[in-house]
């Protein structure tokens, strides 16, 4: 076993997981633990009517090893070898730790730290930092490399250049984790000498930038039932640090205050972002009022992406009735863009939703979800032409029900779900090309014997899509499945089969009829506590009526697995 593990480990790439927080090792820390598994498989594949999508005789070996170190650090390794291709999988290429001792948390290596949504908000950096929370005092500081320098050349035109970016963020606040006020500042800058000269087409789009952000974030509990949440930030973003400086006479009071930390230039833009929520909550009811405004081109180097140029208002109520058996929640909001009035059109959106959950008893439950999304345009710098005016409404409704009949040995579960989605184009000139509806129905029955492991299920499904210009498709049919265990569940078996009838348009637009048959069988045998054999057979027959979709496939796999 040890020699096998060594051979596998030689082919693995080392990877270190990014950890949000780990505790400092102590004298009672658990020893190093190694766990994982090794799997071998071989099979066959046959196809007719289409080009083969697999090897005719696939085989391979896969394995994974996880090394758990004291302090909660895990090192995963994985690899796949076979005639279908070789790969080494490593979910992380970066290493970082954030050990915590009492009210001190240190950050080292590659870290993701968030101080507020509009300042430092989860951007990965390579460096270090510390967060101190003695009592109600909240202090934080991080410093590191936010971007790695990337150079390009004419031989590799697809690579986009990037300057090395370093920065720091500071936080000062007071309060507890759920009731606090924090002030944050972030400053980051690109090193204009970190990359060599790039081709002209690239140098025109990539320039060294600089950013300084000051913000506030707070969560306050007022009285007993009222909460206030506020996140705000002011960002000074220079798109090219090589541009001309702005004279002192043109600087406002905010720029003069931070003048020692940031140099305003002709390419500097001052923007702001704000989101606020006020909520009232009692035992059985609650309501929230939400507001958000993000200026056009708002950016912070402490986050990867922001949806800018939006302003929105929303109301979010909730209600609980009948001793918790009936729960209702919903929301309604409006949103629009073109805050600077510099776009050809202003786009407005309305968003509404309602969720109803009724569970009067353990045996019965009903869930209803409704949503309505509308979008429309108004004239901006130019009038909106009727032939291209965007005015749509998207409605969606989902209903799920369940009913259970149960005793000590048998469980019977009945389910019914229905979904309706409808896109309505309110512009009569384009409605014929965009209107569509989709309806889906599923009726299910599930049977399970508790003692002997016998189970089964039957599902009837129906889907109809009415497309633009009178086109429509239908899919309907049953799915049957069964499971059974033997020899005190050392042997497990299962089988599933589905028969789907379809009506859909072909390439000429004519409606054709067809069917798809899908079947599978699985068996597993537990040889020992950590060893097992598996067998799988899959069959697919597609005859949808479209010539390109008529084919048969059969595949099987025999596998052996061991875990440690």
Rg (CA), the chain: 30
In a domain? residue 297 = yes
| CA–CA separation, 121 and 372 (whole Å) | 31
Let me know if residue 333 belongs to a domain.
Answer: no
- CATH code (residue 182): 2.40.160
pLDDT digits (tens, 9 = 90+) for 208-233: 999 999 999 999 998 889 999 999 99
pLDDT classification of 14: cutoffs 50, 70, 90: very low
Q: CA 411, CA 453: separation in Å to the nearest integer? A: 11
Structural domain contains residue 177: yes
Indicate the number of domains in the chain: 1
Q: Which residue did the predictor score with more confidence, 10 or 140?
A: 140
On the CB side of 502, CA atoms within 13 Å amount to 18
Percent of the chain with pLDDT over 70: 87
pLDDT of residue 424: 87
36 lies in some domain? no
Is residue 482 included in any domain, yes or no?
no
pTM of this prediction?
0.79
Lowest mean pLDDT among 104-118, 154-168, 234-248: 154-168
Give the number of other CB atoms < 10 A from CB of residue 263. Answer: 17
Helix, strand, coil percentages in the chain from 3-state DSSP, rounded to 5: 5, 60, 30
Token pair, residue 395, equals 């409605």
Summarised one tens digit per residue, pLDDT across range 143-183 is 999 999 888 766 666 677 889 999 999 999 999 988 999 99
Assess whether pLDDT exceeds 70 at residue 36: yes
Residue 394 placed within a domain: no
CA gap 278, 289 in Å, rounded: 5
- Examine residue 274 and state whether it is found in any structural domain, yes or no: yes
Question: In whole angstroms, how far apart are CA 358 and each of 256, 285, 329, 450?
Answer: 59, 16, 12, 28
Q: Encoding tokens for residue 198?
A: 């790039």
Residue 66's pLDDT is 84
275-315 pLDDT, tens digit each: 999 999 998 999 999 999 999 999 999 999 888 999 999 99
Could you count the other beta carbons within 10 Å of the beta carbon of residue 142?
A: 22
Q: Give me the pLDDT at residue 256, please.
A: 63
* Structural domain boundaries enclosing 295: 94-194+204-308
What percent of the chain has pLDDT above 90? 55
Reference 123, options 186, 59, 203, 55; nearest CA is 186
Confidence of residue 342 (pLDDT cuts 50, 70, 90): confident
Is 124 part of any domain?
Answer: yes
Q: Cα separation of 373 and 363, whole Å?
A: 34
* Two structure tokens written together for 464: 């109809």
Q: With CA atoms as reference, report the closest residue to 440 among 480, 393, 468, 473.
A: 473
């Amino acid at each position: 076993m040890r020699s096998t593990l060594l051979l596998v480990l030689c082919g693995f790439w080392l990877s270190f997981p990014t950890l949000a927080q780990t505790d400092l090792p102590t004298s009672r820390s658990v020893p190093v633990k190694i766990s994982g598994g090794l799997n071998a498989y071989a099979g066959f594949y046959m196809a007719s009517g289409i080009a083969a999508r697999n090897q005719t005789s696939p085989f391979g070996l896969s394995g994974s090893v996880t090394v758990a170190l004291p302090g909660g650090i895990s090192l995963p390794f994985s690899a796949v070898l076979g005639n279908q291709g070789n790969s080494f999988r490593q979910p992380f290429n970066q290493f970082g730790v954030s050990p915590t001792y009492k009210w001190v948390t240190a950050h080292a290596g590659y870290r993701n730290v968030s101080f507020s949504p509009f300042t430092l908000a989860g951007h990965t950096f390579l460096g270090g930092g510390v967060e101190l929370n003695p009592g109600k005092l909240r202090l934080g500081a991080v410093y590191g490399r936010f971007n790695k320098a990337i150079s390009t050349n004419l031989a590799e035109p697809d690579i986009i250049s990037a300057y090395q970016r370093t920065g720091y963020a500071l936080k000062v606040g007071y309060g507890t984790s759920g009731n606090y006020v924090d002030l944050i500042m972030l400053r980051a800058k690109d090193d204009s000498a970190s990359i060599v000269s790039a081709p002209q087409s690239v140098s025109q789009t990539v320039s060294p930038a600089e950013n300084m952000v000051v913000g506030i974030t707070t969560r306050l509990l007022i009285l007993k039932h009222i909460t206030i949440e506020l996140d705000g930030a002011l960002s000074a973003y220079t798109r090219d640090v090589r541009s001309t400086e702005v004279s002192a006479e043109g600087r406002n009071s905010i720029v003069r205050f931070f003048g020692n930390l940031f140099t305003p230039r002709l390419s500097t833009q001052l923007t702001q972002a704000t989101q606020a929520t006020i909520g009232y909550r009692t035992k059985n009811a609650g309501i929230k009022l939400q507001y958000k405004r993000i200026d056009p081109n708002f950016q912070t180097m402490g986050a990867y992406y922001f949806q800018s140029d939006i302003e929105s208002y929303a109301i979010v109520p909730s209600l609980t009735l009948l001793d918790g058996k009936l729960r209702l929640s919903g929301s309604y909001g409006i949103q629009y863009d073109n805050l600077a009035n510099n776009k050809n059109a202003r786009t407005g959106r309305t968003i509404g939703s309602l969720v109803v959950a009724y569970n009067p008893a353990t045996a019965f439950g009903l869930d209803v979800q409704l949503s309505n999304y509308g979008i429309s345009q108004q004239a901006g710098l130019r009038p909106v032409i009727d032939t291209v005016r965007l005015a749509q409404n998207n409605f969606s409704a989902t209903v799920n029900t369940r009913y259970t009949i149960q005793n000590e040995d048998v469980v019977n579960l009945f389910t019914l779900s229905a979904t309706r989605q409808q896109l309505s184009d309110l512009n009569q000139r384009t409605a014929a090309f965009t209107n569509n509806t989709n309806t889906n129905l599923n009726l299910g029955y599930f049977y399970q014997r508790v003692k002997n492991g016998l189970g089964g299920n039957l599902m009837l499904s129906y889907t109809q899509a009415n497309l633009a210009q009178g086109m429509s498709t239908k899919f309907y049919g049953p799915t049957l499945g069964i499971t059974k265990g033997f020899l005190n569940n050392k042997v497990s078996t299962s089988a599933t089969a589905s028969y789907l009838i379809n009506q859909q348009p072909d390439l000429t637009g004519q409606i054709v009829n067809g069917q798809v048959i899908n079947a599978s069988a699985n068996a597993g045998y537990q040889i020992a506590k950590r060893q097992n054999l598996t067998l799988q057979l899959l069959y697919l027959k597609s005859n949808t009526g479209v010539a390109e979709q008529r084919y048969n496939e059969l595949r099987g796999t025999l596998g052996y697995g061991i875990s440690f």
